[in-house]
Homo-oligomer: A and B are copies of this chain.
Amino acid sequence: MDKKVIEKKSLSKVIQRRLKESNKTNYGRILLICGSRSFGGAAIMATKAAVYSGAGLVTLASDSANRTALLSTVPEAMFIDYSNKEKLLSAIEKSNVILIGSGLEDSDFSLALLKNVFNNIQQKQILIIDGTALSMIGKYHLSIPKNPTTVLTPHQGEWQRISGLSISEQNPAQNYKKMSALQNDFLVLKSSATEIYSITNTKEYGQLNIGGPYQATGGMGDTLAGLISGFMGQFHDNNLLTIQAAVYLHSYIANLLSQNNYVTLPTKIADQIPLIMKTFIQNEFD
């Protein structure tokens, strides 16, 4: 098994100069099904990261209690109440990328939501599963849908709950074995040395060697999940490379901020996304 260090140049490869003749529909329709009454901030942070990454159209489906805070913070995003089944189904159908799980509560409602998404997602769509949705897959023995491209973004404890592998058992070979059993395409296994796995090449995996404990604060993972969803809505050449670039960028910005900050708050990372992305392409219209 080869360990490949995820490189900074993945960012230059992935972040594209946009075509002059393009419009917002070319840059993804992202649907985030995130947040709850207790964890509303997770939804807001994920949505902010998606919008700030340049995604074309971003919709948050959440508890209606999170609507005003989202609009106050990220008016660029649209909002639907995820208890409105008709609107939710319509949004699922129209989206290219769906992120589910950041800031959900473990509840009957969330379980129905998860099943609804799993039953209605289609082949060409990308499904990113984060946070509570991951724990619920383990707890309720849900099957990850086969049709869409799936990305799981667990930390080690969440991966244990899905895979049954204790943290000490979580090695690349075992991880690939479980991914295969789960029919999962991509795994972002978060830790102080985050690893990225792609089922299409089980002979290697990527490891992040940037980032640090200044990122150890609530909301960091929600922001990462939103950033991955924004990248996958825009950059389609190579999904693995796109995921690697998003993960790298997230920690790269944190690392930059950590030069001057003891803790690198998730919302401050999101603020920097458009600026730092720009540094990875040459001036477009010079």
Contact = CB atoms under 8 A, between A and B. Distances in A.
Integer count of this chain's copies in the complex: 4
A18 interface: yes
A274 to B, nearest CB: 4
A233 to B, nearest CB: 11
Contacts of A26: 216
Interface string A206-223: 000000111011111000
A274 B259 contact: no
A68 interface: yes
A62 to B, nearest CB: 11
Contacts of A15: 262
A67 interface: yes
How many chain A residues sit at the interface, stated as a range, is: 35 or more
Contacts of A78: 38-39, 41, 218
Interface in A61-106: 65-69, 71-81, 87
Contact of A261 (B38, B57, B259, B275): B275
A56 B217 CA distance: 4
A51 interface: yes
A218 B263 CA distance: 26
B18 A214 contact: yes
17 contacts: A24-B217, A40-B67, A40-B75, A41-B75, A41-B76, A41-B77, A44-B75, A51-B265, A53-B263, A56-B217, A68-B69, A69-B71, A75-B266, A75-B267, A77-B218, A258-B284, A263-B277
Given A38-B80, A58-B218, A69-B75, 12 more contacts: A23-B191, A23-B192, A24-B216, A27-B217, A41-B74, A54-B263, A72-B72, A212-B284, A212-B285, A214-B284, A258-B278, A259-B283
